[in-house]
């Protein structure tokens, strides 16, 4: 069996044969901490605004490959998308009745099962394999490991995501022949979900000419895997850009900062909290003086799905005006939030606005105070107290829920240690935010 280094070498050669390129000063490095990553070679440096990696879209893997040039499925796709043999297409009924993001996962399953016959095999064999997926994302952790998240919003999200995946898989299998039941298993579908969730890119950021395509869905109804390109690990402090050249149909990752010999070269996945990183990528950032990524998500709409943290508001470990609250400040609606009352300093301004509107409407009145004035306390004392009391009650209940489900035994593996660190930081966030409310009182 080929070593991991040999598999990475084959991946690089496959991408280069298609027209891709990895900067000659950059190597693929692997250890137990970073897993696969880009690193500057020991005798080299990487200058500012250098091209780290480029990849032709013909190497990408997504829903688009499942429909490109399908003889019985009329739809336009980018001309560079790799097409399949006619006998490799999914049935038309499946393609027409299954959501694009689910089709993309089934397509990855198909290529995995095809092994050496797959165009993407040099890429797929470098991915975490299905038999090792219990160390990937919380949704595929063993039950004992998931228990370490009980009481947190991440635990609720895991249950919701698992429920959604079960329904998606069951529905999709209705449109496939019975022979698919034996190989296209639900665990393999979970694996494909994990790969896409932790490594994919939004098509609208990659396909710059998307509006000219006659796709059967919205451009971001599915995700795109970019082999080799996806090896770069995440840092919210990194300035990096993705650029797609429409003429060459090549996507390029460029660095906006220099790197020294031996340094890891990062990508930037966007402003994501530790809750989102844990659920989507299987890691969190530890707290430091320069950066904290600890936020508790709070939902204010009863019909919001528990698994979708992007529709929620956040409570921050440190005041949002603190330089280390990078993600928190990014999500503010009102830049003037930095001069808010101390009691609101840990809360996303959208949460304060939502509570204000809800309370005012409950009193039969019409909201009309600008957000800046609410944040600075230029509202009636009674209304201010109601907002503070509502926040305090919610945070107290959340803290009690976490404490009520503290694990009765020590962590015994990496998943449990990660979950334990996450729940400790969630408690810390709630404690600090409650202290700010108490001081105001």
The secondary structure of 268-322 as a DSSP string is: ---S--HHHHHHHHS--PPP-SS----EEEE---TTS-TT-GGGSEEEESS-TTS
Per-residue pLDDT of the chain (441 residues; tens, 9 = 90+): 678 889 999 999 999 999 999 999 999 998 877 778 999 999 899 988 899 999 999 999 999 999 988 887 766 677 778 887 777 889 999 999 999 999 999 999 999 999 999 999 999 999 999 998 899 999 999 999 999 999 999 999 999 999 999 999 999 999 999 889 899 999 999 999 999 999 999 998 888 766 667 788 888 899 999 999 999 999 888 888 888 887 778 999 998 889 999 999 999 888 999 999 999 999 999 999 999 999 999 987 644 333 444 468 999 999 999 999 999 999 998 776 668 899 999 999 999 999 999 999 998 888 889 999 999 999 999 999 999 999 999 999 999 999 999 999 999 999 999 999 999 999 999 999 999 998 754
Task: Say how far apart CA 244 and CA 264 lie, in whole Å.
Answer: 24
Residue pLDDT, tens place only, 145-191: 999 999 999 999 999 999 999 999 999 999 999 889 899 999 999 99
Q: Which CATH number fits domain 4-58+227-265: 1.10.1760.20, 2.170.270.10, 1.10.760.10, 1.10.150.120?
A: 2.170.270.10
Residue ranges of the domains in the chain?
4-58+227-265, 61-225, 274-440
Q: What are the helix and strand counts (H, E) for the chain?
A: 15, 11
- Give Cβ neighbours of residue 282 (< 8 Å, ≥ 6 apart): 135, 136, 137, 138, 198, 418
What's the token pair of residue 371? 């957000």
Other residues' Cβ atoms within 10 Å of the Cβ of residue 393: 10
């Amino acid at each position: 069996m080929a070593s991991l280094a040999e598999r990475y070498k084959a991946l690089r050669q496959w991408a280069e044969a298609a027209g891709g390129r990895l900067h000659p000063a950059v190597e693929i490095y692997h250890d137990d901490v970073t897993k696969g990553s880009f690193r500057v070679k020991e005798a080299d440096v990487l200058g500012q605004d250098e091209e780290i990696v480029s990849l032709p879209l013909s190497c990408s893997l997504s829903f688009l490959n499942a429909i490109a040039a399908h003889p019985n499925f009329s739809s336009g796709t980018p001309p560079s998308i790799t097409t399949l043999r006619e006998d490799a297409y999914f049935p038309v009924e499946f393609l027409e009745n299954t959501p694009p993001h689910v089709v993309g996962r089934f397509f990855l399953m198909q290529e995995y099962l095809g092994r050496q016959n797959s165009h993407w095999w040099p890429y797929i064999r470098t991915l975490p394999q299905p038999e090792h997926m219990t160390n990937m994302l919380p949704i595929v952790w063993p039950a004992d490991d998931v228990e370490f998240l009980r009481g947190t919003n991440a635990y609720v999200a895991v249950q919701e995501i698992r429920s959604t995946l079960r329904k998606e898989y069951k529905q999709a299998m209705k449109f496939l022949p019975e022979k698919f039941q034996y190989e296209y298993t639900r665990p393999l579908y979970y694996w494909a979900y994990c790969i896409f969730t932790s490594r994919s890119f939004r098509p609208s950021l990659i396909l710059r000419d998307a509006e000219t395509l006659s796709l059967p869905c919205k451009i971001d109804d599915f995700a795109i895997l970019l082999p080799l390109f996806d090896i770069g690990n995440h840092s919210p402090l990194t300035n990096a850009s993705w650029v797609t050249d429409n003429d060459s149909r090549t996507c390029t990752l460029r660095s906006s900062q220099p790197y020294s010999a031996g340094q890891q070269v990062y990508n930037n996945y966007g402003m994501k909290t530790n809750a989102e990183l844990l659920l989507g990528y299987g890691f969190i950032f530890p707290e430091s003086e320069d950066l904290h990524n600890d936020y508790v998500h709070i939902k204010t709409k009863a019909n919001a799905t528990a698994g979708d943290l992007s529709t929620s508001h956040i409570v921050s470990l440190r005041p949002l005006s603190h330089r280390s609250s990078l993600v928190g400040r990014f999500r503010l609606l009102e830049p003037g939030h930095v001069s808010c009352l101390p009691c609101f300093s840990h809360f996303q301004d959208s949460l304060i606005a939502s509570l204000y509107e809800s309370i005012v409407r409950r009193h039969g009145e019409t909201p009309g105070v600008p957000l800046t004035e609410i944040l600075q306390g230029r509202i009636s004392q009674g209304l201010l107290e109601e907002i503070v009391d509502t926040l305090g009650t919610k945070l107290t209940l959340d803290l009690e829920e976490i404490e009520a489900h503290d694990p009765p035994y020590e962590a015994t593996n990496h998943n449990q240690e990660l979950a334990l660190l996450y729940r400790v930081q969630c408690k810390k966030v709630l404690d600090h935010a409650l202290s700010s409310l108490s001081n105001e009182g």
